[in-house]
Amino acid sequence: MRVTVRLFARLRDIAGAGELVRDVAPGATPRNVWDGLVREFAPLGDYSGSVSVAVNADYSRLEAQLEDGDEVAFLPPVSGG
């Protein structure tokens, strides 16, 4: 199945793109997607302990089960205000 990955702020700078499309195995989780990204873009690994995840623009968990067509967003620590 295929998911759209969204990356923000420094994560986007590291990957060089704010939006990526990735094929993942059925039943994949955001953690599987993230681990794949870390293999592609090693400096993302610095964020493995601090990243938040949203699926289809709603906060979710790294262990959630993804569906085909989902949008998975990875969020570094926030700094609004």
Partner 1 sequence: MGRPLAAVTREPLDLAALVGSVSVSPGHGAVTSFLGVVRNQHLDRRVTHIEYEAYEPLAVRGLERIIEEAQDCWPEAALGIWHRVGRLAVGEASVAIAAASPHRADAFAACRYAIERVKQIVPIWKHEFFEGGEAWIEGARADPSDEAARRAALDPA
- Name the residues that contact partner 1, by CB under 8 A: 6, 8-10, 13, 50-52, 54, 57-59, 73, 75-81
Instruction: Name which of 51, 50, 45 is nearest 6 in CA terms.
Output: 51
Helix (H) or strand (E) holding 11: helix 9-15
Minimum CB separation of residue 51 from partner 1 in Å reads: 8
Is the Cβ of residue 19 or residue 67 nearer to partner 1 in the bound state? 19
Is the Cβ of residue 23 or residue 56 nearer to partner 1 in the bound state? 56
